[in-house]
Structures are given as C-alpha cells and as structure tokens.
C-alpha cells in the first residue's frame, strides 16, 4: 500500500511551518509521503522539523556555488535522487531558472502568500496593507518559468482586519496556508490535478478560475 503513495520532496529556506503542516497531514489521511526535505540555507529551522519526523534532509547551500546554474544542477540532482512525483516549494526563497523549472513540468507547486496574480514576489502583506485591499489570502500554483505566475490551482481568501499590521496579517494568512497546501497535495496525490496548455485541469475539466477553499475544507 505504502509504495502507492505519492513521493513528495519539499524545498524550504526558513521556518518550515508549511512543511510542518504537510508532515502533520502525511501522518494522517494524506495519500502522500514526504521522502525528502531540501534547504538552500544550512540554518533553516525547518530542517529540525524534518529530522524530528524522521525525514531525510539535504542542504544545498546556494552560497557554495559561483553560478546559479551550478546551484541548480546540484539541487536538481538532490531532488531527483529522491525520485519524487511532486516537488513542493514551501517557503523556498530562491528564484529558479527556466531549465530547472522545465525539468519538473506539471509536478512542481509553490505556495504564495497573496491572492495571485496580485502581489507577486516579496513583502506581500506589507504591500497588501499599503494598497488598502479588504481581502488578502494565499495561493498554490504550478511552477512555471514566470515567477509566481504559473497556473493557479487553488486559493483561500483572508479578510484584512482594521488595525492589522504586516505581522498580524502574515500570521493569519499562514493559518490558511496550512489548510491550502495539504489540500492541494492531497488532490495531486489522488491524480485529480494536471497542468494543461497553461491552465489547470481538475477531475478532467479545465478550471475557469482557481478553486476556492473555505477554512473547514480539506
């Protein structure tokens, strides 16, 4: 039975709280197994979370490489060594080159803390507050060569409250991220998701808009 579970490699750079949400869910009903965790930062706190869960970790420190190509070749080798069916970027903070991305067509996803296409890139919570939006949120999308611009699979909306500062908003959005990411991995593991012609196919139908999850949804 266990050999039928989706093999997932998770890439992190920092705290790894999204990683933790996957670890927790993989111990439960998620038909997927996290077979490896890779960090580009040796001190990423998320590495300890993987260790604690008995998941093999690898550090590919970008600072050890003179070129991005060299870093990405090492990263690709480390990922492929785990023979994953899905690669999850969970707070992985390096831009990835076109060749690297093209190596994982339709099998690499990223979680981003905004309602894409709004607020691609960094500092999304600050920028959302500055823009005065009433609704913020998080998105999971397939990774393509366009930064934070691949086909969006699913989103959760989060209300911006009066008095929110970036930290408060980030913390609230993160609780939603912890629902959204395992839910999308679950769908992928069940074979329900596919990338097609720049769009997302779910259960054989092209999504006209990202799937919208509510907090209770799994």
Instruction: Tell me if 14 contacts ligand GRF by CB under 6 A.
Output: yes
Min CB(183)–ligand GRF separation in Å: 14
Does 91 participate in binding ligand GRF (rule CB under 6 A)? yes
36 binds ligand GRF (CB under 6 A): no
Binding residues for ligand GRF, rule CB under 6 A, total: 14
The residue nearest ligand GRF at its CB is 91
**Contact status, residue 13 vs residue 39, Cβ threshold 8 Å:** yes
Among 22, 37, 174, 185, binds ligand GRF (CB under 6 A): 174
φ, ψ dihedrals at 113, nearest 5°: -85, 60
Choose one: 23-31, 34-42, 51-59, 105-113; the region binding ligand GRF (CB under 6 A): 105-113
CB atoms within 10 A of CB 190: 12
Beta strands in the chain (DSSP E): 6-12, 32-39, 57-59, 86-89, 108-112, 135-142, 152-159, 193-196, 199-202, 205-206, 211-212
The beta strand positions in 48-134, using DSSP E, are: 57-59, 86-89, 108-112
Residue 154 engages ligand GRF in binding (rule: CB under 6 A)? no
- Interface with ligand GRF by CB under 6 A: which residues? 12, 14-18, 46, 90-91, 111-113, 174, 177
């Amino acid at each position: 039975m266990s050999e039928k579970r989706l093999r997932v490699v998770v890439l992190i750079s920092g705290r790894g709280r999204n990683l933790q949400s996957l670890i927790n869910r993989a111990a439960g009903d998620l038909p997927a197994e996290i077979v490896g965790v890779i960090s580009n930062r040796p001190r990423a706190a998320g590495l300890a979370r993987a260790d604690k869960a008995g998941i093999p970790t690898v550090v590919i420190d970008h600072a050890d490489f003179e070129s991005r190509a060299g870093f990405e070749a090492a990263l690709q080798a480390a990922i492929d060594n785990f023979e994953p069916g899905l690669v999850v970027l969970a707070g992985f903070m390096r831009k990835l080159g076109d060749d690297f991305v093209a190596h994982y067509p339709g099998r690499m996803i990223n979680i981003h803390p905004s309602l894409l296409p709004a607020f691609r890139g960094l500092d999304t919570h600050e920028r959302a507050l500055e823009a005065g939006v009433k609704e913020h949120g998080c998105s999971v999308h397939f990774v393509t060569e366009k930064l934070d611009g691949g086909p969006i699979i699913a989103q959760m909306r989060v209300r911006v409250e009066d008095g929110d500062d970036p930290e408060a908003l980030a913390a609230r959005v993160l609780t939603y991220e912890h629902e959204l990411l395992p839910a999308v991995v679950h769908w992928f593991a069940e074979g329900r998701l596919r990338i097609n012609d720049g769009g997302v196919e779910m259960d054989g139908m092209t999504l006209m808009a990202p799937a919208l999850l509510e907090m209770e949804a799994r």
